[in-house]
Amino acid sequence: MGDLINNWKMVLLLCLTLGLAPFFPEPHIWGKIKWIMGGAVNMKLMDWFDVVLHGFPFVLLLRLIILKIGKPRSL
């Protein structure tokens, strides 16, 4: 499991598939973010679950980026 969430290719694949699906008319996560930024009026538990589900790959990607940047460089 640790190898899977530390694999750049797998995390990018998750972002491009689960993170953005469905793609049309706009990525699902983008619609949810706009809804939240608009005050999250009438959002139900299912909608919040959608945000977590579709947003988790991007959290993993951000984690990998932070680990890469924060990693001390050897001389």
**Residue of 54, 46, 63 whose CA lies nearest to 15:** 54
* 75 pLDDT higher than 60: no
pLDDT tens for 14-67 read 999 988 888 888 888 999 999 999 999 999 999 999 999 999 999 999 999 998
Domain containing residue 51? 1-7+42-68
Which string of DSSP letters, residue by residue, matches 5-18?
A: HT-HHHHHHHIIII
How high is the pLDDT of residue 45?
Answer: 94
How high is the pLDDT of residue 34?
Answer: 93
Q: Is 56 within the bounds of a domain? A: yes
How high is the pLDDT of residue 73?
Answer: 67
How high is the pLDDT of residue 46?
Answer: 94
Q: Is 21 within the bounds of a domain? A: no
Q: Is 33 within the bounds of a domain? A: no
Domains of the chain: total: 1
* 72 pLDDT higher than 90: no
